[in-house]
Amino acid sequence: MEREREERAPAAPIIVPDFLAMLDLERPLPSAAAREAYRGEAPSDSAAPDIWADLPTDRQSILAELDLHPGLMPADLARIRRRFARDNHPDRMPPALHSQATTRMTLANALIDEAERSACSGTG
């Protein structure tokens, strides 16, 4: 039994990720009003700005937010998709905005898919 332990290769070291390095520190942390709104609570300060105002769901607004233009490479489009999803995914929105966020994500994904097809075919 002791001999078996000696013959085994040593276990690979356990690598602990640097969670602080994984944080997006350039993105501002949500305000107290935002955290309360996300939890579905009314903001404690009635004068607080409505940070969850209606999200635009029209094609032109989404197109402007994405800043899609001819000449973008597939890697650029993937970066744009990830950024938009990080900021707009329904799972990251308050329950009251899930429907709007889903519409925004669906439209954004369709616009980015269209831009990818144009980039691959050389027409965009």
> pTM higher than 0.85, yes or no?
no
Residue of 62, 44, 43, 63 whose CA lies nearest to 52 = 43
Distance in angstroms (rounded) separating the CA atoms of residues 53 and 116: 31
| 30-50 per-position pLDDT tens digit | 555 555 555 555 444 444 345
Report the chain's C-alpha Rg in angstroms: 22
Mean residue pLDDT across the chain:
74
The 10s digit of each residue's pLDDT in 55-90 is 788 999 999 999 998 889 999 999 999 999 999 899
Cα 81 from Cα 109, distance rounded (Å): 7
The beta-carbon contacts of 82-88 under 8 Å, at least 24 apart in sequence, are 84/108, 84/112, 86/24, 88/55
